[in-house]
Amino acid sequence: MLEVKDITMRFGGLVAVGGASISVPQGSIVGLIGPNGAGKTTLFTVIAGFQKPTAGKVCFEGEDITAQPAHVRARLGIARTFQIVQPFAGLNVRENIAVGAYLRHARRADAYALADAVGHRLGLGADLDKPASSLTVAGRKRLELARALATAPKLLLLDEVLAGLNPSEIRDIIPVIHAIRDEGVTILMIEHVMQAVMNLCAHVHVLAQGQMIAQGTPQAVCADPQVIEAYLGKGAAARIQAQGAAHA
């Protein structure tokens, strides 16, 4: 469904992403992981159309969409959530979700009906009339997800949707993400919570210092010495291996 080919993103002399490629098959949940500052959100910004890459191309359903702006990509079926959740504080929960619904529904009644349906689906049914500003962190994360889903996406880009949640909240939202995929939405997700990555993703790409350094199953990627060093520093893989041998 999505092919990201050799994307480079430069900001002056800084190369935030250098020649990164990702393939996301239809109907899958694919993970994008890596240490802080690796360039993950920058890559998402390019995929969603908020920034044009310095080099490389983005293809969606076989079409080159590299030159298409974000609102055109949204109409094609690409939606994203944002790492820093910022609901429209002056609106209630229903109205916030309806902002996404208006992409496909011009009539207010239709947008509100869809907002209600999506809100109930994501466990926000009891909060629809409440101010968005009154929601907990977990509630705001669900609202961010609901607003993206209300655009009726084919591809959903989730940027750390589990960040800031406690373990029980993470356990509660994992089945929600599975259900979204089961209903036909393909998902590419940036995530630091490895428990969730292991539970959700069949395939993972690892970005470090703007470069793709590994890809494969979550289990294979977590055992990759390059990935261990990217997260824990030079020599970490050898130290862990030595500790394992000592305990054996």
Partners of 128 in the β-ladder:
none
- Asked if residue 114 has pLDDT above 90, the reply is yes
Half-sphere exposure of 159 (CA within 13 A, CB side): 19
209 burial level (CB within 10 Å; 0-12, 13-18, 19+): middle
211-216: strand order across its sheet: 78-80, 155-159, 186-190, 29-33, 203-208, 211-216
Q: Above 60 in pLDDT, residue 18?
A: yes
Which DSSP helix (H) or strand (E) runs through 159? strand 155-159
How much is the pLDDT for 244? Answer: 65
Token pair in block for residue 8: 């480079």
The residues near 92 (Cβ < 8 Å, ≥ 6 apart) are 128, 129, 130, 131, 132
| pLDDT at 232 > cutoff 80 | no
Looking at the chain, the whole-number percentage of residues with pLDDT higher than 70 is: 96
Burial 8-25 (b: 16+ CB within 10 A, else e): bbeeeeebbbbebebebe
Q: What's the pTM?
A: 0.91
CATH class of segment(s) 2-77+153-247: alpha beta
Residues in the chain, overall count: 248
Asked whether the beta carbons of 88 and 36 are under 8 A apart, the reply is no
- Within 10 angstroms of residue 111's Cβ, the number of other Cβ atoms is 22
In contact, 194 and 79? CB cutoff 8 Å: no
Question: For position 156, what pLDDT does the model report?
Answer: 97
- Gap between the Cα atoms of 59 and 240, Å rounded: 39
Per-residue pLDDT reduced to its tens digit, 175-186: 999 999 999 999
What is the share, in percent, of the chain residues with pLDDT greater than 90?
78
- Give the whole-angstrom CA distance, residue 126 versus residue 139: 11
Q: Say which amino acid occupies 206.
A: V
User: 209-225: per-residue pLDDT in tens?
Assistant: 999 999 999 999 988 88
What single letter denotes the amino acid at residue 162? L
Confidence of residue 240 (pLDDT cuts 50, 70, 90): low
**Could you report the per-residue pLDDT of 143-159, keeping only the tens digit for each?**
999 999 999 999 999 99
Look at residue 248 and tell me whether its pLDDT is greater than 60: no
